[in-house]
Structure 1
Amino acid sequence: MLVAAAVCPCPPLLVPAVAAGAAPELADARTACSDALAVLAASRPDRLVVVGPAGVDGRGVHPAGSAGSFAGFGVDLTVRLGSGPGGERPLPASLAVAAWLLEQTGWADAPVEGLGVGEELESARCAAAGREIAAAADRVALLVMGDGSACRTLKAPGYLDERAEGFDAAAARALGTADTAALLALDAELAQALQAAGRAPWQVLAGAAEGAGLEGRLLHEGAPYGVGYFVAAWS
């Protein structure tokens, strides 16, 4: 059963070594992520699973101890997803960011599993995956990585799209109130058009939280690079 969840954005710029001179711009988001992870720790889960968007090579389960690197972003930094033997496949970027967050907040020695999901995964399959995760142990916690739309400004990665602000507002409300029905109602095709990488992971969370009676808090909301970033805690 799901007992707690933390929702965090997953840009590699969240890692100060990657952000370099731009690191202060996401300082508030980092602080909020630490607060959300504290909620997970307080829940004392039997199982912690990290869910994040992934390309074809990073989809599926990543066992505890799996490694990821930020070399592709010009930084000689390797992280591991908790402690364990790991797997042969490298972590996708979203799970590598999660591994870095966990290392910063005292989870480095805990067994943590990862799940990379495709951004086009249908809502029903996302929810089913979440229900399966929640049923795997008595006390399950989720760290859910994902960004909102990438079309909030002219300089955003996806350029300006007038639909982006409304999409992000709906996502922020749902994440801040633990509204699983609203999360599952997010349109997958619109999310893809807006390059909202968090839609599928958020819907995995929605499936996991069905019937759990959790309450949500939105700890941070912003779009410093034209991309929607949200941090929330459910408990």
Structure 2
Amino acid sequence: MSVVYCGICPHPPIAVPEVGREEAEKVAATQRAIIELGRRIKRSGAETVVIISPHAPVFRDVIAINRVAALKGDLASFGAGGLQFNLNNDQLLAGSINRQAAAIGVDVVDLHEDMEKRYDLNLRLDHGVTVPLYFLQKGGVELPFVHVAMAFAPLEKLYLFGIAVRRAAESLGRKVALVASGDLSHGLTKDAPGGYLPRGKEFDEQLVRLLSVPDIEGVLKMEQTLVQLAGECGYRSIVMMLGALDGYDVKSEILSYEGPFGVGYMVASLEPRGENKSQSVLARLEDEQKKRIARRRAAESFLVKVARETLERHVKGEPPVDVSCMPEEYKKRAGVFVSIKKRGSLRGCIGTIEPTRPSIAEEVVANAISAGTNDPRFQPVRQEELADLEYSVDVLQPTELVSGFNELNPEKYGVIVRSGRRSGLLLPNLEGVDTVEEQVSIARQKAGIGPNEPVQLERFEVIRYK
């Protein structure tokens, strides 16, 4: 086996005696458990540790891997600057993870030294790494590491990342251990850092129970509202790690759980015991995905069918779709946007604010090809991806000038920002865009308009076809 061990541990700086002093004694069980985790990693024969932290540079849709020459960090920001950490960065494994992730549709970015100043990033080891490392080293872990950041990508993408880590290790013949760093609810008591969160205890108890089995599919299917209301910082790191165990029998053990400061600290051990394809959560997820896409395509609208068949024919080198017999309502002219998603993540989106073709249907044909092959954010769609793609079409209604934010509503209206010849558009009712401020800010960024530059605002409604 390439993945020989997996573990979950919290990262409370107060647990480090040089930081917490006498308060550190209140989490003695956590200290002992992480040290034991280190002993088990050492016994596993692991040659590299991949650690996933929620406090490294985190992005919405992209998983970041720290590719600096040497991994360095300390606990100076917690009053213990004398605690220094220097790790070898397993560049070969990191590069292989990136390639394997790309091969299965997971977006990964490598972060190098030259990006620190350019993008105002801190690529030193964060406390999501240094705190566990303090105790893991006491357990005998002296290995190269790969430092990975958690991401806010769809859960399936995060899970697939774990599979990519395993495939990367297999390709190199490397024995790898994965560690998911993260605390559970930050709101277990009234004096907790996040204040009291009524569902925090419920989240912790449910996650601990699921991992003790372990019920990996159950973890993935946890109620996401519960996860959000728990105020946690470990769930997504755990999902990423669990992907590496897909299709394996796993022996799990909760080494400790406590929450003396109102934050849940869990240490868990998960040891792969051999391949068992019946345990593959991915296979079941893919089957559900196929059924969902089949249902969606059976009910798709005329314009969405045109968009899908247009791109499929274009990618396969077949003759274009004939829209000459289009319904009367699509013979009108209007701006159109075609959006393509793959496994819940955007795969391409191109559109026209004003019509450029004789009809809406012909506008869809042109923009479907552009969305699939000319969106500068993505590589052109490949033929093997076509079965996994989902489409939507937005037909823009006439725009109108607005005088301020009070006339905007990101659920109802799209927005256009203009400054001279520059303009940026954002469609309405997009996942993750909840406020007018977010909507306008993203539109400004798309147009290359600075946050303080004066702009003209316009709003519009759309008819969305799925």
Aligned-residue offset at 1:219: 0.9
Are the counterparts in 2 of residues 66 and 90 from structure 1 also a CA contact under 8 Å?
yes
Correspondence 1:215-234 to 2 at 5 A: 215-234=251-270
1:113 and 1:85 map into 2 onto residues whose CA distance is: 6
Residue 66 (str. 1) matches residue 71 (str. 2): yes
Residue 82 of structure 1: aligned partner: 87
Write out per-residue CA displacement over residues 4-26 of structure 1, whole angstroms, 9 at most, x where no aligned residue.
11111111112111111211111
Are the counterparts in 1 of residues 38 and 141 from structure 2 also a CA contact under 8 Å?
no
Instruction: Give the one of 216, 240, 248 matched to 1:180.
Output: 216
Shift of the 80–189 alpha-carbon distance from structure 1 to 2, 3 Å rule, reads farther
Identity level (%): 25
Residue 162 of structure 2: aligned partner: 130
Instruction: Give the one of 131, 136, 143 matched to 1:102.
Output: 136
Write out per-residue CA displacement over residues 102-142 of structure 1, whole angstroms, 9 at most, x where no aligned residue.
3322223x211111213x34311210111111111143211
Shift of the 78–3 alpha-carbon distance from structure 1 to 2, 3 Å rule, reads same
* Bigger Cα Rg: 2
Shift of the 204–85 alpha-carbon distance from structure 1 to 2, 3 Å rule, reads closer
Structure 2 gap segments, 5+ residues each:
92-111, 114-122, 272-466
Letter of the 2:168 partner, please give it: A
1:5 and 1:224 map into 2 onto residues whose CA distance is: 25
2:238 and 2:166 map into 1 onto residues whose CA distance is: 14
Letter of the 2:78 partner, please give it: F
Letter of the 1:131 partner, please give it: I
Write out per-residue CA displacement over residues 169-210 of structure 1, whole angstroms, 9 at most, x where no aligned residue.
111112222321122123445333322100111101221111
Letter of the 1:82 partner, please give it: L
Higher relative contact order (CA 8 A, sep 6+): 1
2:86 and 2:214 map into 1 onto residues whose CA distance is: 26
Instruction: Give the one of 216, 222, 232 matched to 1:196.
Output: 232
Shift of the 57–197 alpha-carbon distance from structure 1 to 2, 3 Å rule, reads closer
Residue 39 of structure 2: aligned partner: 38
TM-score of the superposed pair, with normalisation by structure 2: 0.47
TM-score of the superposed pair, with normalisation by structure 1: 0.89
2:40 and 2:131 map into 1 onto residues whose CA distance is: 18
Higher mean alpha-carbon deviation, 157-166 vs 71-80, is at: 71-80
Shift of the 222–85 alpha-carbon distance from structure 1 to 2, 3 Å rule, reads closer
Are the counterparts in 2 of residues 156 and 226 from structure 1 also a CA contact under 8 Å?
yes
Shift of the 96–121 alpha-carbon distance from structure 1 to 2, 3 Å rule, reads farther
Aligned-residue offset at 1:41: 1.5
Residue 152 of structure 1: aligned partner: 188
Count residues with an aligned counterpart: 233
| 2:238 counterpart SS class | helix
Are the counterparts in 1 of residues 50 and 179 from structure 2 also a CA contact under 8 Å?
yes
Write out per-residue CA displacement over residues 157-178 of structure 1, whole angstroms, 9 at most, x where no aligned residue.
1211221111101111122223
Residue 56 of structure 1: aligned partner: 57
2:258 and 2:126 map into 1 onto residues whose CA distance is: 23
2:82 and 2:42 map into 1 onto residues whose CA distance is: 25
